Structure formats: structure tokens, C-alpha cells
Amino acid sequence: MKLPRRRFLHLAAGAFGVPALPRNALAQPYPSRPVRLIVGFPPGLSADIVARIVAQSLSERLGQQFIVENRPGASTNIATEVVAKAPADGYTLLFVTVPNAINATLYKNLHFNFIRDIAPVAGVDRSAFVMVVNSAFPAKSVPEFIAYAKANPGKIDMASNGTGTVTHLAGALFQSMSGVELVHVPYSGNFFTDLLSGKVQVAFSPIGGAIGYIKANSVRALAVTSPARSDILPRIPAMAEFIPGYESNLWDGIGAPKGTPMAIIDKLNSELRAVLADPKIKARFADIGAVPMPMTVAEFGRHIANETARWGKVISTAGIKLQ
């Protein structure tokens, strides 16, 4: 039986469409199951707090749980290796932080390459440090501090959270750009007890950790390390007002295993930028001294590359090595 041409074309189109139906039915929108967000710090620290704010918001927007999983240790290297070796399917993400950029130079025998193995997804937030001194310290400004330090080389102790940490490198950058010589005193925990007592004289602390002491006049703030003054401490000058070009920030973002489909990365980037535009999220960040850092995928990739190169130069110039 010969079919009319129109009828034949209709049946042929239907026949070619049959194999496509099962494939389309199996293609589920992302995310179709819970997503792990790996954080390289213990619960309760600022990075963990920000990660949980972001995870909660993404869960609400995308209808699937974004679960924060803490994998502390080795200055975020353990968490980064977990993600670098995870399937590139968008269901295991890394909460990227400044130590990731630092560790690329500081650690010599990593089992991953941060730049090569972690794909940038989106920037999340940034926050500045504040240079604080013991309340009895004679200098009351950055120029006075520099003059005093040059007159007393090697006699001022600078506390940090440990060798190679960002609090250490913020101070190392200050030394190299100001020409002063400070004695580095690394701590495994909180150094404020010794700063308050005068056992150490200066530190570069995240604003969120120092603001209570500053408001109580327990320590003296000399400068914030952001390029401009901070809305949180508007009366405190920026370091760049005295040392042009100085900048040192904490920052966070999201990364994924290399090879993660761009459709997934782009979707996450879009959703995260919408989250960061929410006034409620901005207010929650402000409570811990942070501001949103929305970026495109390309912008965040350049930010990571620039930070890795910049901190690598500081480490090399200062000769910083792990013990």
C-alpha cells in the first residue's frame, strides 16, 4: 500500500523521534540530587559560616540540598585534594579560599595542581585585615610605626596564625613594601591574649576577629588592608593611603573539579550572583566583616591566577618556608 506523501513524512518524523524520547527523559536538570560543598576549615570559622550561608541560599533557590562538609587539615589541602579527585559532575564543589592561592607556592609536594585541577565557578565574598598594635605601643599611626620600626629593627614582634598563613603574609607584604624588619611570632591559636598583654606588639588580624577589641580600646587599629577604607571601620585609614599599592584581603569563592560541564558552572555562577545581590545576605556578611564579591566565571579565574602569582612572589621575596 502506497502512503500519501504527507502521511509518510508524519510517520517518519515520529519514528526518528522515538529514540530521542528516552534520552530526553533521562536528562535531568541540575541539580537532581544533593550537592556537597567541601570546606577546608573546622565548623565555626568565618569561611565555614559564609559557606553555610551560601549553601542554605542555594538549597532554597535550586530545590536540592547543598551540604557543607568540613574537611580541615593541611591548610585546606586535604579538602582541595578531595574535590580535585571527585567526579566532574557538579555534585562535589570546593569552597575556595586565600590559602588555596598561597599553598600553590608554599607546598612543594601536593598531589594536585590547584590552578589545573580546580575550575573557577564564582566569587563569594571578601574581607580586609586590620593592622593592630598593643594599646601601650608608642606609634599611633602607620607612618609613626614605620619610623619607630626603622629606628628599632628586629625589636618588634609580629603575631600571626602560623607560618605561611595569610595573617603572616599580610605582615610580610607590609615589611617588604615599607622596608621595616619585624620578628615573626607564629601561633597555632588565638594570639590576642599576648597582643593585649604586650608580649607581642603588632598583628594583621581579620576585621571580624579584631573589631570587638578595637571598639573596647583594648588594641589600637592603625590601618585596614583593603584598597579603600572599610564601611565597618570608616575612621581607620587604608594602608594604601601610606603605602600606595598595598592590598591584602581574605576572599572566598566556589570551585569545581576540572572538566565540570560549563552549563553547570554557568548555572551555579548565575545563582550565586543572585544570592549575593540579596540585601539579607549582604547584611549577614556584614555581621562577620565581609562584603559580597560577585564575579563572572572568567573574572574569578583571573582573580585566582593573580592572587596565586602575587602571594607566590611575597613568599619567594620573604624566603618563607614551612618548618
| CATH code: domain of residue 65 | 3.40.190.150
For residue 193, tell me if it sits in a domain: yes
For residue 29, tell me if it sits in a domain: no
| CATH code: domain of residue 193 | 3.40.190.10
Q: Is residue 252 very low, low, confident or very high in pLDDT (cuts 50, 70, 90)?
A: very high
Same domain, 148 and 175: yes
For residue 17, tell me if it sits in a domain: no
Residue 9: partners with Cβ closer than 8 Å, 6 or more residues away: none
Hunting for cell 599553598 — which residue is that? 103
pLDDT at residue 26 tops 90: no
- The amino acid that residue 253 corresponds to is G
Same domain, 299 and 155: no
Same domain, 158 and 258: no
* Boundary residue ending a domain (183, 214, 241): 241
Same domain, 258 and 182: no
Percentage above 70 pLDDT, the chain: 92
pLDDT digits (tens, 9 = 90+) for 269-313: 999 999 999 999 999 999 888 999 999 999 999 999 999 999 999
pLDDT digits (tens, 9 = 90+) for 33-50: 999 999 999 999 999 999
pTM: predicted TM-score of the whole model, two decimal places: 0.87
Same domain, 54 and 185: no
**What single string gives the DSSP state of each residue in 141-183?**
SHHHHHHHHHHSTT--EEEESSTTSHHHHHHHHHHHHHT---E
Domain count, the chain: 2
User: Per-residue pLDDT averaged across 88-107, rounded?
Assistant: 97
For residue 158, tell me if it sits in a domain: yes
Q: Is residue 28 very low, low, confident or very high in pLDDT (cuts 50, 70, 90)?
A: confident
Average pLDDT, the chain: 91
∠ at Cα 16 (15, 22), nearest 5°? Answer: 95
- Give the C-alpha separation, 309 to 287, whole Å: 31
Determine the pLDDT at residue 27.
Answer: 61
For residue 5, tell me if it sits in a domain: no
* Boundary residue ending a domain (192, 217, 241): 241
Same domain, 104 and 138: no
For residue 163, tell me if it sits in a domain: yes
Same domain, 134 and 218: yes
Range scoring the smallest mean pLDDT among 118-122, 231-235, 242-246: 231-235
Same domain, 233 and 148: yes
Determine the pLDDT at residue 19.
Answer: 39
For residue 297, tell me if it sits in a domain: yes
Where does residue 4 rank: exposed (0-12), middle (13-18), buried (19+ CB within 10 A)?
A: exposed
Same domain, 259 and 229: no
For residue 156, tell me if it sits in a domain: yes
* Boundary residue ending a domain (241, 274, 301): 241
User: Per-residue pLDDT averaged across 218-233, rounded?
Assistant: 94
pLDDT at residue 248 tops 80: yes
Residue-number span of the structural domain to which 226 is assigned: 128-241
Same domain, 207 and 287: no
Residue 18: partners with Cβ closer than 8 Å, 6 or more residues away: none
Same domain, 151 and 182: yes
pLDDT digits (tens, 9 = 90+) for 140-153: 999 999 999 999 99
Q: Is residue 158 very low, low, confident or very high in pLDDT (cuts 50, 70, 90)?
A: very high
The residue with greater pLDDT, 9 or 172, is 172
Same domain, 100 and 193: no
